[in-house]
């Protein structure tokens, strides 16, 4: 799976590029804070919800979780690839990386 840096992700958001940014943490975690333009698709609900919420299997999808040491986003990205998604990226720094760069969250 390809990875994306904080700088690259921020540029994509700022430029209004068309992609899906997917927070794979729990609904409660997502509601507490998330990166702007994110949707919440908990890793344990991918089988059920991905076909409805991510209908285009060729669309660019960027998955993230809490930090580089959290493996939920890696597992979710691999699951999406198994489900036939062809353009999946991993934002490995997650919420911690976003915060470390002093960037704002949505609450």
- From first to last of its 107 residues, the chain has per-residue pLDDT tens of 999 999 999 999 999 999 999 999 999 999 999 999 999 999 999 999 999 999 999 999 999 999 999 999 999 999 999 999 999 999 999 999 999 999 999 97
Through-space distance between the first and last CA atoms of the chain, rounded to whole angstroms: 29
pLDDT of residue 107: 78
Q: Count the domains in the chain.
A: 1
Contacts of 65 (CB under 8 A, 6+ apart): 23, 24, 25, 43, 71, 72, 73, 76, 94, 95
Domain span holding position 73: 2-100
Residue 106 counted as domain residue? no
Phi, psi of 102, deg, nearest 5: 75, 20
> What pLDDT is attached to residue 76?
97
Tell me whether residue 13 is in a domain: yes
Instruction: Determine the Cα angle at 98 with ends 92 and 104, to 5°.
Output: 150
Q: Is position 107 within any domain?
A: no
Where residue 37 sits, what CATH number does that domain have? 3.40.250.10
Alpha-carbon Rg for the chain in angstroms = 12
């Amino acid at each position: 799976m390809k990875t994306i840096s904080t700088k690259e992700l921020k540029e994509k958001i700022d430029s209004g590029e068309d992609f899906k940014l997917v927070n794979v943490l729990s609904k409660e975690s997502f509601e507490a804070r998330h990166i702007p333009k994110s949707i919440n698709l908990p890793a344990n609900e991918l089988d059920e919800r991905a076909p409805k919420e991510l209908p285009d299997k060729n669309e660019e999808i960027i998955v993230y979780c809490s930090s580089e040491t959290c493996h939920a986003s890696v597992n979710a990205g691999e699951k999406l690839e198994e489900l036939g998604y062809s353009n999946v990226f991993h934002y490995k720094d997650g919420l911690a990386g976003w915060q470390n760069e002093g960037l704002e969250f949505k609450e």
